[in-house]
Amino acid sequence: METKIKELKSRIKGRIIMPKDKDYNEARKIYNAMIDKHPGIILKCKDKEDVIQAVNFGRENALEASIRSGGHSGAGLALCEDGLVIDLSEMKDIQIDPKTSTAVIFPGNTLADIDRATHEHGLALPSGIIGSTGIGGITLGGGIGYLSRKGGLTVDNLLEAEVVLASGELVTASEKENPDLFWALRGGGGNFGVVVSFTFKLIQIKNVYAGPMFWPLEDAAAVMKFYDETMQKASNDLYGFFAFLIVPPADPFPKELQNKNVCGVVWNYTGPMEKAEEVFEPIRKFGPPILDFVSEIPMPVLNGMFDALYPSGLQWYWKAHIIKELTDESISVNMEYGSKIPTMHSTTHLYPINGAVHEISPGDTAWINREARYSQVIVGVSPEASDAERITTWCKDYYNALKPYAAGGAYVNFMMEEEEGRVKDSYGINFKRLGQIKKKYDPENFFHINQNIKPCD
């Protein structure tokens, strides 16, 4: 193997990092500190030719291979044990064309990188809520966040992708070229190949009227109902995700609220700014909130608002549901577990997946949940490894209690590694077609360190 690795080194521009190397432990670190995998080879690719070399090397030597972009997968799917990590984190180009409002983005970029680059042109890509998340995994799984109701999922804005297949061949996927692959990439995760560039359309966004509002925990049932009704009636310009949380013990939160278990909504209004106060009048009247940090801010301020609270290196465990409606019974379950949040960083979020997301049919992309209202994630987080069991138990109990009121399946980007049985449910009627496309593009299931879709007829 040593000779083969030497040869590989001579063919690539990037670096190979092995367990004996000084920077090995740094290179195998990912966002979730609960994951401790030891890959045999980490190949830090510089460009698509390096990716082709990596895929060919992995296949020819029968190595397990994982794909890493931002390393944010809660399940730790960026890494493998013993095998080869195809690490794209140094592939960082972003080319924006303001005339066509499009961007070509390489997979090593984080959402913060993209936000900075697009905001300069008064543009934005609908994506997630934490800046350090990688564009690779979030896009291929779907991509939900502050602009979902206005501009759809991240995948709904994908125009084209360049993909290195398991055979080592580089292909383009778009509506015109390999449309079956393009369909599968929009929600099917990292099952079909390594995406080496994404072309997106962007939407015009500069400033937004946004931020968090909190209400007392005792009012949470009424707040949830009010929030749910608001999200059903609102124009696509209004977005808000609901949360149970513990107020962080730090500025700018008022002392009397710090460490208190509350409920809240993080709003994002993207309509005309002169209308914002009017839109928020009924929201502010309801309650009224015990904290109101909603004001006009640049989009990147909203996007970066929780980045410092959730740095890399915390323990993470999460479970997820797709929610079709909020009933009195499901609200009671949320009340019960939302008032037992185990640590300050732990939370549950209900992300709306209506508005523009519903304007596309469930069969038009692999991402299927276009008739549901929310993607709910239950997240146990702590800086302390000794909390791992406690946060995991809370997540599992909360998840199990909500199960009777959930649609079945989940957003694959919010699943842990042991949840493979749920993959089929998560894709519903799209699952069979995904298996057939997998057979065409990756018949040997070379790319299986993911929420795996097996090749089928």
Ligand X SMILES: Cc1cc2nc3c(=O)[nH]c(=O)nc-3n(C[C@H](O)[C@H](O)[C@H](O)COP(=O)(O)OP(=O)(O)OC[C@H]3O[C@@H](n4cnc5c(N)ncnc54)[C@H](O)[C@@H]3O)c2cc1C
**Interface with ligand X by CB under 6 A: which residues?**
31, 66-74, 77-78, 88, 107, 128-130, 133-134, 136-138, 140-145, 189-190, 194-195, 310, 413, 449-450
Query: Within a 13 Å sphere around the CA of 50, how many CA atoms are in the beta-carbon half?
Result: 21
* 83 vs 190 by CB, closer to ligand X: 190
CB of 196 to ligand X, least distance (A): 7
* 138 vs 246 by CB, closer to ligand X: 138
CB of 72 to ligand X, least distance (A): 3
CB of 197 to ligand X, least distance (A): 9
CB of 91 to ligand X, least distance (A): 9
CB of 292 to ligand X, least distance (A): 23
* 129 vs 262 by CB, closer to ligand X: 129
Q: Please state, in angstroms and rounded to a whole number, the distance separating the CA atoms of residues 382 and 345.
A: 6
* 136 vs 240 by CB, closer to ligand X: 136
* 142 vs 342 by CB, closer to ligand X: 142
CB of 341 to ligand X, least distance (A): 16
* 83 vs 141 by CB, closer to ligand X: 141
CB of 372 to ligand X, least distance (A): 14
* 83 vs 134 by CB, closer to ligand X: 134
